[in-house]
Structure 1
Amino acid sequence: MTSTTDYRSLSPAELAPFIQHTKISVGLTRADMIAHAEEAARFGFGAAMVPGSWVRTVADVLAGTGVPVASALDFPTVGVMTSAGKAAEAAELVRLGATQIDIGVQVGWLKSGDHDLFREDIAGVVRASGVPIKVMLELPLLTPEEREIAVELSIEAGAAYLKNASSGQIETASPENIRFLAARAPDGVLVKASGSITRYEQTIALLEAGAACVGTSAGIEILNNTADALTESY
């Protein structure tokens, strides 16, 4: 189902909670991450998405602000960690202050027909972490049949969010794939959009398609575009 919210009428402050403010790259410094956390708090973003090595620093800055700390594992090269390693890392991220975790899935196991292993890889993280888990399904890499199976197994494993892809290297987030996930997500399971989300109109289209949130490093620019769009509509 798509949302009935009129996203185009939202002010920048009202749109910000739908955006997970992301900063994940090589060579980030402590100053970079503190600034990122301060931005997340100042603009009221839905979460600050950061590398695991900086979760504690960002959690300390965001303490008391109400902005969640999110992190990702088995990423950016998805599906290379062992299941035990993934579960252990998830537990550590929570200990450091993460309250949401995006995880890569084992696409190779899915394509090999190892469905029990695929499901348990996700379920192990769900059990070990105790926080909402977002599964990065890499939909462009899957056949239509594999997409259906991946969604079903992820839901069975206890995923809190279905996510179209891990990054723009896999897909520029498309409303079509968000609608695909939203149509299959049962009550209590949400959809996150990810992948080269840089524009206001693109963000609105993804939310209208059924995304509960979008992950992007261009959140501030999108909010600036929001203000411009509202001005033009009057």
Structure 2
Amino acid sequence: MTARDAATAALDLTVGGITTDATTAAELFAVVDLLDGQPMLRRSLSDPSSTDAARAGLAERLLAGKVSPTTVSVVAAVVKAPWSSGNALVAGLERQGVRIALEASRASGRLDTVERELFAVARTVDENPDLSAALRSLAYPLDGKRALVARLIAGKVDQVTEQLASRAVRARRRTFSLTVESYLEMAADLGGQKIARGTVAQPLDEDQATRLKAALQAQVGGAVTLLVHVDPKVIGGIRVSIDDDVYESTVAARLEDARRQLINL
């Protein structure tokens, strides 16, 4: 584990010790939006020459009476951590908001639904060149991008899915899809699971999905979150990836293997 990973894990543990809920996440995202537009304030809250207590005190004075005491406590914990820049601080604060939103979904028994929906939204964006280009465009305003995603999913997904898809438009991990990917990794971590990404030619029915999930859990020796993408190009069978391991059993793959063998004759 790198020093950065260790610091992130320590902060997760600290914030995890604070009793939070979905409202906390929403307020944290509002604080993030405020700091995104205030470079001087970002620098002050991440200033390494200032003491932890001074930075936390500044955050408390800034937010007292404007957000809940719980949210103030989370922000104070985040600003006490060492950050390389004001932008890194804001990204770290948003990460805690995402984790808290996902934790609220887990507590309500909706985490699996949110995972599946976020995965589907990211796939939809990837498969729509115009939408994907608009979300990547630096010339397109952030509010406009969020409106595009909102029109795509409003009323069709869980409230947390809608909230996090809107946050992912900011693309702190370079692209919308990579940012959603980071959310899915956090969700799997909260659930103590590994992510299994399956690609199939036709949608799996409930029985097929259950049997596949059970087989994968037996393979990895632990709980698995199964995210399935339908791609007619695979023709038949299934392709599953877990971490760096890939399990391939598709007609397309077998045809490609046969083609290569013929070429090498």
Q: TM-score, normalised by structure 2?
A: 0.27
Q: Would you tell me which structure has more strand in proportion to its own residues?
A: 1
RCO greater where, 1 or 2, for CA within 8 Å and sep 6 or more? Answer: 1
Q: TM-score, normalised by structure 1?
A: 0.30
